[in-house]
Amino acid sequence: MSKIKFSSPRDAENAFYEAIENADLPAMMSVWSDDDASVCIHPGAPRLEGRSQIKESWQEIFESGPAMVFQISEERITEDNHLAVHLVREEIVVEGELVSVMLSTNIYHHTGDSWRMMLHHSSPEPELILDEYDLITETPAVLH
């Protein structure tokens, strides 16, 4: 069976989020580069390097929780013929309720016949963290 080919970084990114929403591990891994220099950093988690660690992490995510729906906005895209950097805001909805907002960086590279993800780095939106912190402490938060 041949691996799916993505003709553009946008196609690879759409497949990435569709794989998350469908909790589809084979589809997820078809998006990722075969290069073991690939990196995935989930919110609040350590850096994962290589296909094996990345695959294991997505498998755990897909097996452990309810289905997630992603609404992508505030895209900032920089692309050339070989590299694409997508900065996005992810609103994550579970069972009809907004549960988190993440800022993510997705980097894709052209492998010769397809675009593949080589980095996904996601972290909570700082403004939401500050709002929650202020409600708890009633003092301004300081970020360094």
Residue 101's closest CA among 90, 87, 112, 116? 90
CB contact burial 120-137 (16+ within 10 A = b; e otherwise) = bbbeebeeeeeeeeeeee
Please report, in tens digits, the pLDDT of each residue of the chain (144 residues total). 348 999 999 999 999 999 999 999 999 999 999 988 999 999 999 999 999 999 999 999 999 988 999 999 999 999 999 999 999 999 999 999 999 999 999 999 999 899 999 999 999 998 755 444 444 444 444 333
Q: Please report the pLDDT score of residue 110 as a whole number.
A: 96
In a domain, 85, yes or no: yes
126 lies in which domain range? 9-137
CATH code of the domain containing 39: 3.10.450.50
Count of the separate structural domains present in the chain: 1
Cβ(82)–Cβ(110) under 8 Å? yes
Residue 1 lies in a domain: no
pTM of the full structure: 0.85
* Lookup: tokens for 23: 């909790």
